[in-house]
Every structure is written in structure tokens, then in C-alpha cells.
Structure 1
Amino acid sequence: MIQSRMLVACPVFAILALLLVGCGRHRELPKTGPPPVTVAPAIKRQVVDFDEYTGHVEAISSVDVYAKVSGYLEEVAFQDGAMVKEGDLLFLIDKRTYQAEYDQAVSQRNLYQAREKLTKTTLARNEKLVGKGAVSQEAYDESVAQADEATAQVQAAESDIAAKKVNLDYCTISSPIAGRIDRTYVTKGNLIQSGVGNPTLLTTIVSVDPVYVYFDVDELALLGYIEQHVAQTDGRPDGSLKERKIPVEVSLADGTVYPHRGMIDFGSNQLDAATGTLTVRAIIPNPDGVLRPGLFTRIKVASGAPYDAVLVPQRAIGANQSNRFVYVLDESGNAVQKPVTLGTKQGPLQVVKTGLKEGEQVIINGTLLVRPGKPVKADHSTMPEPPPVEKDLLRSEDQEKPSADETKAETEDKPKES
């Protein structure tokens, strides 16, 4: 019994000993100074906002090649998938039957011409004799009718020859447009059917240069474009999109930027009520044939004219439950939190619409250790530069607009009138 009480008391004494030792040694936390941060003055630069859309490529001209006469396919005169020119020979249908019909029509015309010559000679003779009473008036009238009938037969024969010639020419099938041809759907020796019932599709051809790119603009973006256009034109009537000459940039599925700029040339006259979008078309040069019909692309369009904006790095922007903010240094070297309204991204930078002025010292690195109203150890640096304004993606009237800094400099340099 005594031994069990001693076993219970031993842990208690051990805990008391540890507590006494802990109370005897008080460890102080090391004092830390202001957190190190990097600051840089906010910059103002000329920028342009862009909208991006998903588009797809379509050929300007697309032709399904059918035969206009029936017959057996005698020759395929192209390589599958090759480029063809307008007028190049594609297919040759056995023309012997049509050649015989044409020759028969020519012979029939020759026969009618011989008859016409005879009737006209008879008419000329009767015309001289009818006045002398050697030929009756009835005989003369009959010769006139026979001559007119022979002339009509010759004209009908000429028309028949033209029709037979058309059928004969249809045996030779040439390319109606220049472009890239598909494979042949029918091989040599097969019977080709024509007509409206069940004609035989031989192949297809699509034009290559230039091409169309179709994309859909959402309703909110469209309203913004309309408001901007009305403001720039002082409410003048809106013309076609082609007249406005809006350039576009095309990016491929792998992210590469297509080297040739396009131009918007068409917009649908009404929105799709189901999707709330407007179909817009751009025409793109395609000299190398890189853009194939059906290809998906990304379309980049300037949403407005260039403007001057305050810019800061994206990593300098913080967020809480209510708004976005940046930290700036006050005159005492303390970090001050300033709410901001953000605009578009410009490379590594972000446009700040409101809440920040050019030249304010913004904390661009080390914001996680910053506390509002507390001092910081600042290391001064400079802001990175935004991407340059792509002038070739602006309309001609927007390219000529100077920035606010240029306008200010011109105003300061202009001598004041006395």
C-alpha cells in the first residue's frame, strides 16, 4: 500500500519541479525591426485596352464540284490536296457520245442551209416572174413561205448546235476558282450522274488567300463600342464596320501570333437572342496558307483609343473582403493602405483607375510583412515598363492622337501671347 502511494506521488513531484524551473528562467523574444520592402514610384504611360474573342476560320469561296452531264469518268487531272488555279483541268468525262450528237447537229444545220439556199433562189426567180404573169400569186406566196421556213430551220439548227456544244464542253470539268482542292471522291471508270436528282459530288475546292475569321462579340462589349463610336462621331449615323477600318490580331491555338494583321469588314445586322452576341467577320491575308478553314483562333481587338493611365505591378496589389488596395509610403516612412480601382492588365503591370497618383511611392515587394500604419525599411527601385502601344492595331484616327504627356509638353513649349 505504501509502495503504490509512492508511485503516484513521484509524477506529481516531477511536474512541480519542472514548473519551478520554468518560472525561474524567463526567455525574452528577440526584437525585430521594420520589415524590408521594395518601393518604386507609380508611373503614368499611354496604354490601350484590348478585347479577345474566340474565332474560327472560313474560306471566302467554297465550291462543291459536280458534273453537269452524265457519263463515265475518263481522267482525273489533279493531285489530291494540291493548289489549283482557276480554269485548271480537273476531270474529263468520256465525250464520244456528246461529240457524235454535236456532229449530227452540225450536219443537220448544213442540210437546212442547203434547203434555205434553194428556197431563196426559187423565191428570187418567182419574184421576177410573178409581175409578168408567168407565175401565179399563189405559187409566189408559197415560195415566200418555204424560204421563211428554211431560214427558221437553220436558226433552230444553230441553237441545237449551241446546246450540243455546251454538253460537249461540260465533259471537260475545270476549276471554277483558285484555291486548295480536296481529294477526288470518284475514281476513273465510274459512272458520273448529273441533274437535280442525285448528282455525283466529285470534289471540293476552297479559296486560300485571303480568308474570313468569324467571332462573336458579347452584348456588353457591343454597347461599349457603340457608345464610344457615338462619342467620337458626334452622333453621326453609323456606317458599316468595313468603313471604320478596325484592325485585328490573330493568335493560333498554340499561342503564336499570326504575322499578318486583319481588318473587320462585316457585322451582322442583329444579335442572336439565344446567346446575346453579335457575329462579326474579319478578313485576314493568308499568303502562306497557314490558316485553314475550320481552324480555331483568338482575335485581339482594340476596345478604344489610347489613353494615359497610372500603372503598378500586379504583385503590388492586395485584396481584402471589401476592395483592392496598394501600400504606399507616407512622409514618415510608414506603410499606408490605399483602396484602388483597377483597370486592364498591361503585361506585368495593372492599370489603376482611381486611388493612386503618378509618383506615389508604392510598395512593390515584401507586402506580406507590411502592417498598415507601421514603419518599413524601404529599398527604392523603379517600375517596370508596360508593353509598347501596338500602333498597327489602332484605327488610323486613333494612331494620330498624342498622349496626355505629349499634349502637356506642347502646351508648355508654346509661347504665351502678350
Structure 2
Amino acid sequence: MLALALAASALLAGCGGQKQQAAGGAAQVKAMKVLQQDTPVVSEYAGQIAGKDEVKVQSKVSGRVVEKYFHGGDFVQAGQPLYRIDSRQYESAVLQAQATLAQSQATLANAQTDLGRDQELLASDAISEQQVTTQQANVNAYSAAAAANQALLQKAQQDLSDTVVYAPMSGQVSVDDVAIGTFATAGNTNLVTIGTTDPVFVTFSISETEYLKFRNIQQMQSGSGNGITVAIKLSDGTTYPLDGRIVQADRALTQNSGTLTVKALFGNPDGLLLPGMFARVKLTGETVPNAILVPQRAVQQLLDKTFVMVVGADGKSEARKIELGQQVGSYYIVKSGLSAEDTVIVEGLSSLTEGKDLAVTMVTPEDMGFSLDEDTTPYDTMTSSDASSGSES
């Protein structure tokens, strides 16, 4: 019995010693050197695609639509007939104007004949000069009436011609076109919308500070030919293959948000970009020289403090407070708190505390899948509806 008790005591002491040794052992972590290099920065903003030119087609005359010569979504050419308005009342108006003009022209012709006769009688002193003057005034009045009736005829003929509604420009028609039988009011009823699809605008907003920054970049690089590059990322995460250029900027900042509305022009030969689509606008042109880069997964936040764990000179973990700049791919630019000589811990952070002995495995960005390239993860277009908000990455 005594021998068994001594053996059990020895076994428990051994287990306790093993646990104590494991608890006091070095923490297994992976770490890598901080990167330092010239880093291009991409600024991203929520944008929306719009047609470069868009026209709401309206009829110049009122009446019921009796014919339609296209289908919704068709591409049409400028001058192509789109609708025909009931023309019967306008045909009657032309006939009436023609009859009125003919009557006024006949009255004018009679007055001119009488004037000629009166002028002959005046030459032989058969009538007074006052009578000739009166007849001349009548001729002038009848001539003016005939001219007015001629204008009314031209107006009636133009109204009749306007019963056929033509495409004012080449482009694609919308699918919300009115149906046959709709009563169109002149200058009020929108029959259909026509818009161009190549090129297209991408509209987005930038802050006052960003406007001044990009203006300075543009001025500094104007002589080198390296201006600001504009690209867009679509909602499925893909980058549109053609770059654009900024062509328009509003004359003033909006009062509510203090942002400046900007338009970039993009070619759209394949019709991939549709008006109304959301996109992430990417402006490239700014480069941060000798930027300190730290992987995103190494960054931790506690309340209002941002820090990383670094491998200290004594091989122990050390918390280092940092100030972050823009996000670039898998990294953050660090404004302060780190140097190019620091080694940051990128894996094994979940239960790591400061002052812990470390068993460090050095890794490379390639080992961890880190990259300076942008994220191509699809984004939720519902969060992009506010085109007035911008962010930098």
C-alpha cells in the first residue's frame, strides 16, 4: 500500500511539471519583415453609369397614337419614324387653311384690278387722288391678310407633318414606350426615351480635400504625360478593360455634402456598361514614396487604439501602436509607429499577449498570399447607391 501511494504521488508530480512547462513555453507564431517601397495609391469612389446623351421624345402635336414603328430596346437612327399621331383633324385644318388663303388671294386680286383702273382714271382727272389712295390702302390690307393666311397654311401643313414623330438622335430606345391608343399631349407626354450607349459617363463625387490633391497631381504631372488614370470595377468584382478620362466637373461643391460632382467618359463599344449600373471608380496617379506597408491581418484594434505585435530584440512579443494610412491590396500604409527594420507577427495572434517568448517562423508575402493588387471580391450594389460618398484604398 505504501509503495502504491508513493508511485501515484510521483506520477501526479510528473504530470504537473509537464503542464507547467507547456504553459511557460514559447508561443508559436509566423512573422515577416515590414515592406518599404514606393507605393501607388488607388482612391475609390461610388459611381453610377449614365448615358452621354439622353432625350425624352415628345410629340409636337396632340392626338391619339395610331401607329408605332419600333420595339422597346431597339437601336434607331436619327430621322427614323417612331410614332404616328391621328392626322385627320390636321388634314382638315390644311384644307381649311388652303380655302381661306385662296379666298384672300382672290380678294387681293380684285382689289389690285380696281387699283389699276382707278390709277388710269386719276391720270385723266376722272376721279380724285383720295379715292386712289383709299384703294391702295385696301390692296395693302388684302395683301397682308393673304400673307397671314399663307402663314396659317404653312402652320397647318407643319402640324400635319408633325403627326409623324421622328427620332431626334441615333441611340437605343427604352422599353417604357407608350402603347398605341395613348393620347399624347403636345410637349407634355413622354413617348419614349432615346439614349446613346457609346461612350457613357460615370458620375461620382469627391471631397474638397481630394479635389485639391488631384488638382495638384494633375498640374505636377501635366508635362510628363502621366495624368490621373480612371478605371472602374463592376459589381461582380471585375475591372472594366478600358480606362476612362475625367471630362467634366461641377462648377461648385454641393451645399449639403460639400462634395464635387465629377464625370468620367468611358468607351463602351460592346455595350457592357448600361445606364443606371453602379461601379467603383478608381483614380490612380498618387504615389507614396518609401511607404511602410504592413499586412492587414497583422493589424489589431482595441477601443480607439490601433496596434500590431512585433518581434522584439529580446525575442519576446511587443505591442506597437501605429497610425494607418490608405489600404493597398492586402496591406495598410503605416504613417507612424513602424520602421523598415521591424518584424510583425501575422499569424498566432489570437491569444498572444505582450512580453511572451516567441518561437518565430519567418514567412514571405507569397507564403501568406499577400498582394498589393486590389481586391476583386464582388461587392453589394445596394451599398453603392450613395454615389456622393467616397473612400480611398
What TM-score do you get using the length of structure 2 for normalisation?
0.72
User: 8 Å contact 2:324–2:335 — kept in the other structure?
Assistant: yes
Deviation readout 1:363-416 (Å, 9 max, x if unpaired): 55556679647464554757766239xxxxxxxxxxxxxxxxxxxxxxxxxxxx
Q: CA deviation at 1:137?
A: 1.5
Query: Out of 164, 169, 173, which is 1:172 matched to?
Result: 164
Q: CA deviation at 1:319?
A: 5.2
Between Structure 1 and Structure 2, the one with more strand by share is 2
* Equivalent residue number for residue 112 of structure 2: 120
Amino acid of the structure 2 residue aligned with 1:269 = A
Matches within 5 A, 1:388-399: none
What is the CA RMSD across the aligned residues, in angstroms?
3.9
Distance of aligned partners of 1:320 and 1:191 in 2 relative to their CA distance in 1, 3 Å threshold: closer
- Establish whether residue 192 from structure 1 lines up as the match of residue 183 from structure 2: yes
* Equivalent residue number for residue 269 of structure 1: 252
* Equivalent residue number for residue 394 of structure 1: none
User: 8 Å contact 2:254–2:260 — kept in the other structure?
Assistant: yes
- Establish whether residue 68 from structure 1 lines up as the match of residue 54 from structure 2: no
Deviation readout 1:5-62 (Å, 9 max, x if unpaired): xxxxxxxx9xx98754332444243978866655544332222434433333344544
- Establish whether residue 225 from structure 1 lines up as the match of residue 210 from structure 2: yes
Q: CA deviation at 1:280?
A: 1.9
User: 8 Å contact 2:111–2:135 — kept in the other structure?
Assistant: yes
User: Higher Cα Rg: structure 1 or 2?
Assistant: 1
Q: CA deviation at 1:160?
A: 0.7
- Establish whether residue 257 from structure 1 lines up as the match of residue 239 from structure 2: yes
* Equivalent residue number for residue 158 of structure 1: 150
Query: Out of 380, 383, 386, which is 2:372 matched to?
Result: 386
Amino acid of the structure 2 residue aligned with 1:192 = F
Q: Give the distance between the partners of 1:73 and 1:313, measured in 2 at CA.
A: 65
Query: Out of 187, 202, 205, which is 2:191 matched to?
Result: 202
Q: CA deviation at 1:324?
A: 0.2
Q: Give the distance between the partners of 2:337 and 2:175, measured in 1 at CA.
A: 63
Deviation readout 1:94-128 (Å, 9 max, x if unpaired): 32432342244234334433443443344345335
Amino acid of the structure 2 residue aligned with 1:194 = T
User: 8 Å contact 1:87–1:174 — kept in the other structure?
Assistant: yes
- Establish whether residue 307 from structure 1 lines up as the match of residue 293 from structure 2: no
Q: CA deviation at 1:145?
A: 1.7
Query: Out of 23, 26, 36, which is 2:9 matched to?
Result: 23
Q: Give the distance between the partners of 2:254 and 2:69, measured in 1 at CA.
A: 46
Amino acid of the structure 2 residue aligned with 1:307 = V
Q: CA deviation at 1:268?
A: 6.9
* Equivalent residue number for residue 79 of structure 2: 87
What TM-score do you get using the length of structure 1 for normalisation?
0.68
Q: CA deviation at 1:174?
A: 1.1
Deviation readout 1:161-217 (Å, 9 max, x if unpaired): 1210221111111122333223465444x2634258xx6553333443344444455
Q: CA deviation at 1:129?
A: 4.1
* Equivalent residue number for residue 352 of structure 1: 334
Between Structure 1 and Structure 2, how many residues are aligned? 353
Q: CA deviation at 1:75?
A: 1.7
Distance of aligned partners of 1:228 and 1:117 in 2 relative to their CA distance in 1, 3 Å threshold: same
Identity of aligned residues (%): 26
Distance of aligned partners of 1:99 and 1:227 in 2 relative to their CA distance in 1, 3 Å threshold: closer
Determine helix, strand or coil for the equivalent of 2:159.
helix
Q: Which runs of 5+ in 1 are unaligned?
A: 1-12, 235-244, 389-418
User: 8 Å contact 1:334–1:376 — kept in the other structure?
Assistant: no
User: 8 Å contact 2:316–2:357 — kept in the other structure?
Assistant: yes
Q: Which runs of 5+ in 2 are unaligned?
A: 220-226, 375-393
Worse overlay, 150-159 or 207-216: 207-216
Q: CA deviation at 1:146?
A: 2.4
Shift >6 Å, 4+ stretches: 30-33, 229-234, 368-371
User: 8 Å contact 1:210–1:283 — kept in the other structure?
Assistant: no
Q: CA deviation at 1:148?
A: 0.7
Worse overlay, 169-178 or 204-213: 204-213
Query: Out of 63, 70, 82, which is 1:78 matched to?
Result: 70
